[in-house]
Structure 1
Amino acid sequence: MSNPFQEAEGPQPPRQLKAPLEILANLRPLVDNHIPLTLRFRERAQRYQTFLLQLDNTTRTLLLDELVPNDGERFLSNGESFAVEAYYEGVRLSWETDDPVGATELDGMPCYRVALPGELTYHQRRNAYRALLKGGGEFAATLSGKRLAAELKGRLADISATGCKLVLGGDQRNELQPGEVYDFVAMLPIGRIETKIELRHAHHDERSDLTHCGIRFHGMNGLLQRQVERFVFQLQREARRYQGSDEGRFSR
């Protein structure tokens, strides 16, 4: 029996995108959805957070927000090489640059102009449809476990048959360990779900002071798995109906 959540091609190995228009098209969602970027200088261990503010197809440049912590900005000014990565809807986007960075402004706020990367690594890391969840207050969720000092409360931002995104208040990166298995409870329209989850990654958004956690369901029993799959499939059909897309290809 086919699985409606599996994309036809499944997970793919990393692809190197080199066409400028293709690179711009794949970076655009990072701007539109205010996705945090992780920036690291080649010879330094410290990681910095920034955001992609604007793309300019005419000049083939992009604007990066100020760095957090801000001590990294002197490394930008000194022309140090750096690498950037971001995660969006199960895709890891990453690139490196040796090009000089210019200080500029956008709407009166300081930022940095950088040349569009000559190559962008596109890595689809999952093969399950992920449905956005509207009205976050309706989808409360908690994490707990022996390695946590206290239960962490948050909300679900999206869900797939294999995992979901959990949003927690504050900076919880010191509390959470990628690869660790935690106890997970969430309230969904289908009812209360309890299962183990594996934390895949956690990113803190300095502006909103929220921690976005990518989690994968771990050892979920068959009955609960089928309930989640049906729920996600329902959301998928509703989303495609709203977008006016043909959902016939998802029928079995």
Structure 2
Amino acid sequence: MRRRAYGTGLRALACALLAWHVWLVWHAASYEAADVEWTCDSQGCSSDSFAAGAPLLGIATGAVLGLLATRFLRRAAGGTVAVFCALACIVGWHDAVADGLVGHDSVTAFHIMLPISTHSVSDWLTVLWCVVGVGSVLAWWGAAVSLRRSAALRRLTGRYATAEATLSGWRSVSGKYGEVTVAFEDEKGVAYEVPAVTERIALRRTVRAVYDKQHPADARRIRVAIAPRTLWSRP
């Protein structure tokens, strides 16, 4: 338990430090956009400004942050990181406008990937707010899926307890859902085998039984909590 807590603490610290780095990179990408100058020839385009390559660096570090944060945010990690990066870039634009570096109608050489076309600050703000909107929807969807799969809300109540469980059998009910037999032991060590409906993916994951302490054998109240997928999980 102590080793697990230590590992979780290190991961949380790494996420915090990386999030700070990602924020600075995306903020600099927009704040210093007015200083970016691209030189293009037959071999491609290049620039000596840090802000020119900052978006690519921000995308790469943002992806790493998303992987690390999956331990805490589950399926909401991707959408949350996208919103975080977009907001950092938006704040950078607003700070640049406030400091007189650019105006809302200014056209800069800011680009996400390559200097393909130029847009005004207002155009980029519109795009970024759209990213915030889409990312928020994805984050809420991911959070809803994670809460349902982990039975987190049910587990927070004192009425329910959890136990390591094994699943056997499969009878398709509808789509990806089917009925299985959940084998587990309650807090008193009494063994139970209770039918429950869960997703097919639960057969390939570590699961826990979330059961009513007063009625462990009640099939209407039992839920199967599915552990999140890790980098080493089978697909």
Q: TM-score, normalised by structure 2?
A: 0.27
More helix by share: 2
Question: Under a length normalisation based on structure 1, what TM-score does the superposition of the two structures give?
Answer: 0.25
Structure having the higher strand fraction is 1
